Amino acid sequence: GIERGALLPDAELGAWLRAAAQALDDAMTKLSAGQWQAPVLTAQGRTVPATEVPWLRAREVYVHAVDLATGLSFAELPAGFCAALCDDVIAKRRSAPGPALVFAAADTGGRWELPGQGEGGTVTLAGPLAEITAYLTGRAHKLTTAGGQPAPVLGPWL
């Protein structure tokens, strides 16, 4: 669907997005309290309660909206969404191999830590929340270390 959507003219893509969002909203409003607790298998093979579907959808739509390279960046997304996405990505990256990192969002005061699974000391990366979000999700970013070195390369997020 992503490949097909990337080829659509703007108006058709917008209509497709609105129709998909409406269909999902219609389906979710019909769910009972018990159905909201039903197990759902994610694309990554995790089993989660249906209550996570709205977050998973928001995450997918926002991140892929940036990926379409139409000029939208993480800086235009709601700060609350970016902070929640950082929380989510950090939780997924905690057990993955990689450097020990501390993130400090200079514009919001947010702070995240990855314990690291390798040698070397902890690297601090400070910058706008949008740049931290882009970096953590493997997108283009402008983060550097305090010494001006490029941010360490991270493995895949999902």
Per-residue pLDDT reduced to its tens digit, 12-59 = 988 998 999 999 999 999 999 999 999 999 988 999 999 999 999 999
pLDDT digits (tens, 9 = 90+) for 122-141: 999 999 999 999 999 999 99
Q: How confident is the model at residue 82, as a pLDDT?
A: 98
pTM, two decimals, is: 0.87
Residue 41 in contact with residue 52, Cβ under 8 Å?
A: no
The residue-averaged pLDDT of 72-86 equals 97
Under DSSP, is residue 72 helix (H, G, I), strand (E, B) or coil?
coil
Q: Looking at the predicted structure, is the pLDDT value of residue 2 above 80?
A: no
CA distance 129 to 131: 5
Q: Which two tokens stand for residue 24?
A: 């999902």
The residue-averaged pLDDT of 103-124 equals 91
Q: Which two tokens stand for residue 52?
A: 């996570």
